[in-house]
Amino acid sequence: MGGFLSETFLAALLFGAITAAIPLLLAGLGEQMSEKAGVLNIGIEGMMIAGAYAGFLGAYYSGSFWLGFATGAAAGILVAALMALLCVRLGLNQIVIGIALTLGLEGLTALLHHFQFSRSYPRLPAAQVTPIPLLAEIPVFGPALFRHHLIVYLAVAAVFAMIWVYRRTQLGLNLQAAGDKPAALDVAGIDVVRTRTAAVLFTGGMAGLGGAYLANVGAGLFIPFITNGAGFLGIVLAMLARGRPLWVLAGALIFGGCLSLTTAAQVAGINVPTDVIQMVPFLAVMAMLVLFGRRASLPAALGIPYERGAR
């Protein structure tokens, strides 16, 4: 019999792991930049759900996934702009605003969905995949890893782009300074508020993209509360990674992999209560925290609004 351990099944599991990991990766990379610049962006869940909703709208009405990603990112950026205005420019408490935005957008998207789609539940066609020549032919790994929507490769490429930005560019220095010692950045002639605003907007864009991916590619539709805490997981991954994009990728893949493992265990017919199995992904992250979380030196000014000349 095919079933467990068949090539297709293993490939599907791996494929599923990647699909589950991508929204976390995007959100984590985005959050990482905010945190690097000193803004604890708790509102990322709200940005994701806004991205999911707007992304679905865009893709559904235009018929183009790319337009969907664009509208998703734009919605995330819009929410982030509000956050930047309130928390970076005015210096309001980041946790209050973050949670408020999350609550508000979860509620708002659920409302909009109710009035717009709750009688029709429209769905998108399958996302078009771009197989990578040659690699896509490898058994199991080919279809699992190298037959995805182009955005997946872009997300992975973004990891390396981020590494480059952080290590090699002036922008990387500015971001780090904004998070570690904003006053030093300010007196060096760089506007801290602008730097942090840019970082928060980037976070919004990435989170919105992650939400759009989740809705359009991951689910193929939007339903209320579809993000289900993915944004909070993004925060955990970003903090765990402490500024290193590659670790966000690793963390997202481990989480996605564990999700697939829970499916595999069930399909294999292992008779363990499902609720227990389903704690595995969280246990995995917790284990990573215990093992690698030591002396997690977060940016010194994380969460503290910058006010010029204040003491």
Partner 1 sequence: MPGMQTTTKPPEMRQAIVTLDGVTKRFPGIIANDRVDLVIRAGEVHVLLGENGAGKSTLIGMLSGLQQPDEGRILIDGKAMPIRSPSHALSLGIGTVFQHNMLVPSLTVAENLALGGKWWQKPRLGELAARVDEIARPLGININLDAVVSDLSLGEQQQVEIVRALLRNSRLLILDEATSMLTPQGIAELGALMRRLVERGLAVVFITHKLGEAAEFGDRVSVLKLGRKVGEIGPDRLRSLEHDELVDEIVSKMFGRNAGDGAISIPDRPANDEALLAVRDLRVLPGKDTSGLEAISFMVGRGEILGVAGIDGNGQKQLAEALAGQRRTDGGSVTLAGRSLDGLDVGKRRELGLRYLTDDRLGEGTVGTFPVSINYFLKQIGEPPFWRSGIEHSREINTHARDLTRQFDVRTPSLSTPVGRLSGGNIQKVLIARELAEGARAVIFNKPTYGLDLANTQATRQRIRDVAGQGLAVLLISTDLEELLSMCHRIAVMSQGRLVGTIANGAGAGERVGRLMIGLAA
Partner 2 sequence: KSIAILTPEEGTDFGWNQQGVDAAKAAAEAAGIEAIVASGLGYGDVRPAMREIAADGASLIIAHASGYATSAPEIAAETNVPVAIVDSPQALKEGLVADYTLSGHQGAYLAGRLAAKMSKSKHVGIVVSGEPPSWNSQSAGFAEGVKAENPDVKITYAVIGPAAYSDAAGGRRVTESVIAAGADIIFGQGNGSSFGMLQAVETTKTADGGKVLFIDVIGDKTSVAKDFLLSSVVWDITPVYSAMIQDLKDDTFGTKRYAIGLADDSVKLLKTDQIPDDVWSEIQKIREQIIAGDIKVEPTFEASAVRTLMTDVSADAK
Partner 3 sequence: MSGDATSASATPLDASGGGGSARDIGRRLLITLGPIVVSLVLAGCVLLVLGINPLAYYGYVVDRGLLSPLGLQQTLTRMAPLLFLAAGLIVAFRAGMWNLGGDGQFLLGAVTAAASAPLLVQVLPGWLTLVAAFVIATVVAMIWSLIPALLRAYQGVNEIITTLMMSFLGVSLANVLVKLVFLDPATTVPQTRTLPVEDRLPRLFETTVTSGLLFGLVTIIAVHLMMTRTAFGLKLRVVGANPRAAVHAGLNVPLLTVTVFALSAGLIGMGGAVDIVGIQGNVRADWNPAYGLAVIPVVFLARMNGFAAIGFVFLLSVLSIGGESAARRLGVPQNFTMVLVSIVLITLAVAEYLDHRFNQARRA
> Cα separation of 211 and 228, whole Å?
11
Please state the φ and ψ torsions of residue 298, each to the nearest 5 degrees: -80, 160
Secondary structure class of 147 (helix, strand, coil)? strand
CA nearest to 274, candidates 265, 283, 286: 265
* Binding to partner 1 in span 85-144, by CB under 8 A: none
| Rounded least distance, CB 169 to ligand ATP, Å | 32
Residue 180 CB, shortest distance to partner 1, in Å, is 5
Determine which residue in the list 140, 141, 181, 219 makes contact with partner 1, applying CB under 8 A.
181
Is residue 142 near partner 3 by the rule CB under 8 A? no
Residues 19-58 that bind partner 2 (CB under 8 A): 19-20, 23
User: Minimum Å distance from CB 22 to ligand ATP?
Assistant: 45
User: Could you tell me the sign of the dihedral formed by the alpha carbons of 94, 229, 161, 67, in that order?
Assistant: negative
Over the window 233 to 272, marking each residue x when it contacts partner 3 by CB under 8 A and - when it does not, the resulting string is --xx--xx--------------------------------
Name residues contacting partner 3, limited to 75-134 (CB under 8 A).
86, 90-97, 99-108, 110-111, 114-115
Selected from 188, 268, 272, 296, the binder of partner 1 by CB under 8 A is 188
Is residue 257 involved in binding partner 2 (CB under 8 A)? no
**CA angle in degrees (0–180, nearest 5) for 246-138-245:** 5
Neighbour tally for 283: CB within 10 Å: 10
User: Is residue 221 a contact point for partner 2 (CB under 8 A)?
Assistant: yes
Which CA distances in Å does 98 have to 87, 104, 175, 232, 295? 9, 10, 20, 11, 25
CA 89, chain centre distance (Å): 24
Q: How far is the CB of 307 from ligand ATP (least distance, A)?
A: 8
Count the site residues for ligand ATP by CB under 6 A.
3
